[in-house]
Structure 1
Amino acid sequence: MKKTALLFAVCSLFSLAGFAQSTWSLDKAHSKLGFTVTHMLISDVDGSFTDFDATITASKDDFSDAVVEMTASAASVNTQNEKRDGHLKNEDFFDVAKHSTITFKSKTFQKVGENKYKVTGDLTLHGVTKPVTLDATLRGTTVNPMSKKTVAGFKVTGTIKRSDFNFGTKYPNAMLSEEVAITANTEFVKG
């Protein structure tokens, strides 16, 4: 009886060790969350969020079971033009007084090729939550020679429609493109 209980306990520990989840925290100094919108059909305007955070939780080394959670402060929008940034923060666009936070939480992180993933999840922007699908590329993992910690780099791209989020709806496509490109270059540190 004691041998059976001991064997069960040992097997349980090995089983749990195989499913240990790792949490990867965003290295903010080496990450950027940005967007691009076309202005008057002729030029692109780039912007970013200077205050954002994200985590990845995964039990598999290839991230195929990963869960990603991201938050960004809408008030941290930065297009390198103070007047435009002020306009983006008002009720025409982000309406930061009412909708201060942008969030994304993945539902699936599907491997579709060598270091390529389709990430599907819920994006909440301007008080509206909609499903979106993003493309992610694992650019690699390595050990940071200074911190001695394992790090992983991802590039994430995708496109959303302004109208899906009731965002800037009084501005027609001829003024601002309906589609907004999202780009994130991120580095995560394994905890």
Structure 2
Amino acid sequence: MKRTLATLLATFLSAGLILTGPGGARAQEAAPAFTKDPGQVKAGRYRLDPAHGKITWSISHLGFSTYYGQFTDVSGELVLDPKEPGKSTLSVTIGTGSVNGLNDTLNAHLKQPDFLDVEKFPQATFVSTSVDPTSPTTARVNGTLTLRGVSKPVSFDATFNQAGVNPVDKAYSVGFDGWVVIKRSEFGVNAFLPLLGDEVALRLEGEFKLQ
């Protein structure tokens, strides 16, 4: 019995060496190498992955609840300089017609002239003017938001998530989240004020691919 156990143990150990050893033909694939250290991120020009980039908005609904929706047509370009983050730049374009409040009637109304007026203003844009690091993994991104033809200075808080080779598409990727609150009245969206909230919270989520 002892001999049998010893033989089985030796067999399993040998199999493990074959699977994990540096020269084994069946060596296990190395785990993806991700980093949460911004200083280790590759510098360069990145493009927002449209499948993993969106903006979630929320607004007070008559004071009874907070209503949520999204913009799903979002494109963007990021020029990243990890060594000197303040030199990084960001530009984002939002297709206003992609607004989605999870209700067909509401979606149709949000596209009308008293709200986004998507026929006249099919796009909104944000172009950064400066980036102010606030910690090793966070920054204040300052820029100009243009919505309904009105341009205003806006600053949002960005958080670096991680970077590395995406195991699905093998593209080197970097991920960020962002947060900002704007007043819609400043951009000419005055419908149903003050019953519907003036302040609109925007949560930005994006994965960028190195070009």
Give the TM-score normalised by structure 2: 0.76
Whole-Å separation in 1 of the counterparts to 2:90 and 2:49 = 14
**CA shift in 2, pair 1:99/1:161, >3 Å:** same
> Aligned letter for 2:144?
D
Between stretches 142-151 and 176-185, larger displacement belongs to 142-151
Q: Is 1:171 paired with 2:199?
A: no
Is the contact made by 1:65 and 1:110 (CA closer than 8 Å) also made in structure 2?
no
> Aligned letter for 2:161?
R
Q: Give unmatched runs, 5+ long, in structure 1.
A: 1-19
The aligned counterpart of 1:96 is 118
Q: Is 1:190 paired with 2:210?
A: yes
**How far 1:171 sits from its partner (Å)?**
1.4
**How far 1:25 sits from its partner (Å)?**
0.7
**How far 1:62 sits from its partner (Å)?**
6.3
Is the contact made by 1:53 and 1:72 (CA closer than 8 Å) also made in structure 2?
yes
Whole-Å separation in 2 of the counterparts to 1:51 and 1:102 = 11
The aligned counterpart of 2:95 is 73
**CA shift in 2, pair 1:116/1:102, >3 Å:** same
Aligned residues: CA RMSD? 1.6
Whole-Å separation in 2 of the counterparts to 1:140 and 1:51 = 23
Between stretches 154-163 and 42-51, larger displacement belongs to 42-51
The aligned counterpart of 1:43 is 65
> Aligned letter for 2:104?
E
**How far 1:176 sits from its partner (Å)?**
0.8
SS for the counterpart of 2:105 is helix
Whole-Å separation in 2 of the counterparts to 1:188 and 1:96 = 26
Between stretches 26-35 and 103-112, larger displacement belongs to 26-35
Task: Point out 4+ residue stretches in structure 1 off by more than 2 angstroms.
Answer: 58-64, 145-149
Is the contact made by 2:54 and 2:73 (CA closer than 8 Å) also made in structure 1?
no
1:130-169: CA deviations, max 9, x gaps?
00010000011121123332211100100000111011x1
SS for the counterpart of 1:41 is coil
> Aligned letter for 2:103?
N
The aligned counterpart of 1:56 is 78
1:132 to 154, 162, 175: 154
Whole-Å separation in 2 of the counterparts to 1:21 and 1:139 = 16
Between stretches 112-121 and 52-61, larger displacement belongs to 52-61
Aligned length: 170
Q: Give unmatched runs, 5+ long, in structure 2.
A: 1-41
Whole-Å separation in 1 of the counterparts to 2:185 and 2:168 = 45
> Aligned letter for 2:192?
Y
1:52-99: CA deviations, max 9, x gaps?
101101233564321110001111111110100100000110011211
Whole-Å separation in 2 of the counterparts to 1:185 and 1:164 = 24
Is the contact made by 2:181 and 2:201 (CA closer than 8 Å) also made in structure 1?
yes
Whole-Å separation in 2 of the counterparts to 1:140 and 1:79 = 30
Identity of aligned residues (%): 34
1:77-127: CA deviations, max 9, x gaps?
111101001000001100112111100000011111120100010000011
Whole-Å separation in 1 of the counterparts to 2:125 and 2:135 = 27
